[in-house]
Amino acid sequence: MIVMKFGGSSIADASRLRHVANIVKNYVQRKPVLVLSAMGDTTDHLLDAGNLALKEGKVEIKNVEKLHQETIKNLKLPVQKEVTVLLDELSRLLSGIALIRELTPRTKDYLVSFGERLSVRIAAAYFKSIRMNARAFDSWEVGFFSDSNYTQAELKKESWDLIPEKIQPLIKGNVLPVVTGFLAKDEKGTITTLGRGGSDLSATMIAAACKAEEVQVWKDVDGILTADPRIVKDARPVQFVTYDEAAELAYFGAQVLHPRAMMPCMKTGTPVLVKNSYNIDAPGTKIEHAQAAAKKSPPVRAITSKHKVTLVDIVSTRMLGQYGFLEKVFSIFAKYNISIDMVATSEVSVSLTLDTAYDLTDVKKELSKIASVEVKVGKAIVSIIGNVKRSSEILGRAFRSCQLIGVPVQMVSQGASKVNISFIVNDTEAAEVVKALHMDFFPAED
């Protein structure tokens, strides 16, 4: 068994749905379970409609109605009744919001759930019409059970047993389940969502819980690339990465799966394949366990950069060797809910990086009581993700590249996770650094 997940842009209209059916047909032998997002930008449209009802008291579902009605008309699908029932329910919900002028997180989840509930019904009807044995399921019918943390719900442990209990008999019966991503229900039977982009997690959860062979996440890019293609023209897909590397890449700005979505598969070792639905023949990127991935790749997997970073230099004004200094520094940042990205320390000083978005006035005031503080904006983090067993070689080559183009490195840190070497340069020089590193670690193929 495999799990195949298609995001909103992969199922944006009738022609994209036809295309998805062709992809799925290639895999029927491997007994797929499909997980779908809402069609196109439906989730955003639903949230917009909710806000309009809340703020202006208007009920407006034209956008959502048009896309879904046109799709069923275009594909001549016999689901008019089901779709109309859902759209009516949506209208009534919006009228309620317009009337009481209240949109709680709980109602928001109910509101966005219409996107995925519509998409699976339409997709399953289409697959049936071309003689595939498809059946639509709301995820709670196949074991998605969560807490009540609306808009950011976490799946409960019980889901690990409930999901295979429901899915496996379907697979044995040669059914092609088409399941709503993103959604679950809580103890009270209320609809919840797993956070924006959550259908990746729905797919990896089914795959891990059912011990599937693999989960395929179909996107509109050729998998994970060696660098941002807007910076490096020669960027190419990475064929294999480990779960840890993929998580680092996601944190440092690459367009991959959210680290949360990888968790279930990381636990069970289920490989995650990122494929391009617009370029089926491209091999994509396989995310898997370290041993399997390590054998197959060069020391560096990818180079990323994160822009608009602030560097804070903090030098203790107290005695050398005083304990508790770092604790004080970090507790001040924690007090103001500021998340720190990179840290480098010496006996009396600490340098750290933050998003530029934070207002540091108060933090600076407090820090100044124990240290001299310098805040430098306009920096970037360049990260090299790869096999840090070879860190000396990687660092040597990286510094040499920076030296050659005359860019000073301002701070260095090697994550304990051993897959990430990061350094700080001026934001204006970051693109040049990424290009130089890419040229060194991924020389042009001819």
Residue 284's CB: how many other CB atoms inside 10 A? 24
In the complex, what is the shortest distance from the CB of residue 119 to ligand ASP, in angstroms, rounded to a whole number? 9
In the complex, what is the shortest distance from the CB of residue 281 to Mg ion, in angstroms, rounded to a whole number? 25
Cα dist from 438 to 147, 209, 392, whole Å? 44, 38, 17
Q: Which amino acid is at 128?
A: K
Choice between 198 and 271, CB closer to ligand ASP: 198
Choice between 38 and 179, CB closer to ligand ASP: 38
Cβ partners under 8 Å of residue 219, min gap 6: 7, 10, 255, 274, 275, 276, 277
Choice between 33 and 38, CB closer to ligand ASP: 38
Choice between 38 and 238, CB closer to ligand ASP: 38
Partner from Mg ion, ligand ASP, none binding residue 181, C-beta < 5-8 Å depending on class = ligand ASP
Name beta bridge partners: 375: 312
Partner from ligand ASP, Mg ion, none binding residue 237, C-beta < 5-8 Å depending on class = none
Answer yes or no: are the C-beta atoms of 98 and 59 closer than 8 Å.
Answer: yes
- For residue 339, the 8-state DSSP code is P
Cβ partners under 8 Å of residue 373, min gap 6: 312, 313, 314, 364, 367
In the complex, what is the shortest distance from the CB of residue 199 to Mg ion, in angstroms, rounded to a whole number? 7
Residue nearest to Mg ion (CB): 8
Choice between 24 and 120, CB closer to ligand ASP: 120
Partner from Mg ion, ligand ASP, none binding residue 264, C-beta < 5-8 Å depending on class = none
In the complex, what is the shortest distance from the CB of residue 253 to ligand ASP, in angstroms, rounded to a whole number? 19
Partner from ligand ASP, Mg ion, none binding residue 115, C-beta < 5-8 Å depending on class = ligand ASP
Query: Residue 421 burial by CB count (10 A; 0-12/13-18/19+): exposed, middle or buried?
Result: buried
Choice between 119 and 353, CB closer to Mg ion: 119
Q: Which two tokens stand for residue 298?
A: 């060069």
Cβ partners under 8 Å of residue 28, min gap 6: 132, 176
Provide the pairing of β-strand 300-316 with 371-386. Answer: antiparallel
Partner from ligand ASP, Mg ion, none binding residue 196, C-beta < 5-8 Å depending on class = ligand ASP
In the complex, what is the shortest distance from the CB of residue 8 to ligand ASP, in angstroms, rounded to a whole number? 5
Choice between 191 and 437, CB closer to ligand ASP: 191
Quote the CA–CA distance of 68 and 64 in Å, as a whole number.
6
Quote the CA–CA distance of 343 and 352 in Å, as a whole number.
4
Residue 95's CB: how many other CB atoms inside 10 A? 13
Partner from Mg ion, ligand ASP, none binding residue 235, C-beta < 5-8 Å depending on class = none
**Residues forming the site for Mg ion (CB under 5 A):** 8, 37, 43
Residue 276's CB: how many other CB atoms inside 10 A? 19
Partner from Mg ion, ligand ASP, none binding residue 307, C-beta < 5-8 Å depending on class = none
**Residues forming the site for ligand ASP (CB under 6 A):** 7-8, 37-38, 43, 115, 181-182, 196-199
Partner from ligand ASP, Mg ion, none binding residue 146, C-beta < 5-8 Å depending on class = none
In the complex, what is the shortest distance from the CB of residue 196 to ligand ASP, in angstroms, rounded to a whole number? 4
Element (H, E) at 25: helix 14-25
Quote the CA–CA distance of 178 and 93 in Å, as a whole number.
25
Partner from Mg ion, ligand ASP, none binding residue 182, C-beta < 5-8 Å depending on class = ligand ASP
Element (H, E) at 337: none
Choice between 196 and 328, CB closer to ligand ASP: 196
In the complex, what is the shortest distance from the CB of residue 37 to ligand ASP, in angstroms, rounded to a whole number? 3
Q: Which amino acid is at 319?
A: M
Choice between 206 and 373, CB closer to ligand ASP: 206
Q: Which amino acid is at 320?
A: L
In the complex, what is the shortest distance from the CB of residue 112 to ligand ASP, in angstroms, rounded to a whole number? 7
In the complex, what is the shortest distance from the CB of residue 317 to ligand ASP, in angstroms, rounded to a whole number? 47
